[in-house]
Amino acid sequence: MFRLLITSLILLITMNSCDKTLAKYSMNVEGKDLLITDVIYIMKEADEWDDGYTKNENLDKIGCHNCLCALGSDVTKETIYNDKKEVIEEFCSDSYVIGCFLLEEVLKYNPSVAEDMEKNSHAFAIIRNFTGTVTFTIKEEKYYSERLPILNIRGEGNINFHSDYDPESLLEGMDD
């Protein structure tokens, strides 16, 4: 009986600590510059915002045919790291709808984004000359005492990058 209780507790703890994948989206890219940012930052002021952008429905209408878009949550990991866990880019999010676009498609649709990128470089992550696969994975992860849907971005190819590294996690469990 005691062994069954311990086994049940271990199983319950394991199930509660596992990250649950809620959605996964991927796109292949061949030698293109990528732009990762909040969708709202690429929109022309004349275009009305609508929920179709969160599902990639209307992005095709504005000329962004090769892109990923996902609704994050109140927690968006806005730093892009390389394999050595070094920061290579950062972006920010206001609407929590994050997109990975081909830079050339965005600039064709809205040339003023180039000026915005110069003024607000912290809002746009640019990965130059990328060949490979970009994947958006939305997982339910533990964030402090809550479990929230969190968007993780990963690029695998000639440049490997990811957003799912948290430097603070290195400090967890250290009692110095």
- Distant-in-sequence, close-in-space partners of 65: CB < 8 Å, separation ≥ 6: 59, 105
Is 43 a member of any domain? yes
Is 171 a member of any domain? no
Domain that holds residue 73: 18-166
Query: What is the average pLDDT across 68-94?
Result: 82
What pLDDT does residue 1 have? 46
d(CA 67, CA 78): 18
Question: By the 8 A CB rule, do 57 and 71 touch?
Answer: no
Is 73 a member of any domain? yes
d(CA 161, CA 81): 5
Looking at the structure of the chain, the number of domains it has is 1
Rounded to two decimals, the pTM is 0.77
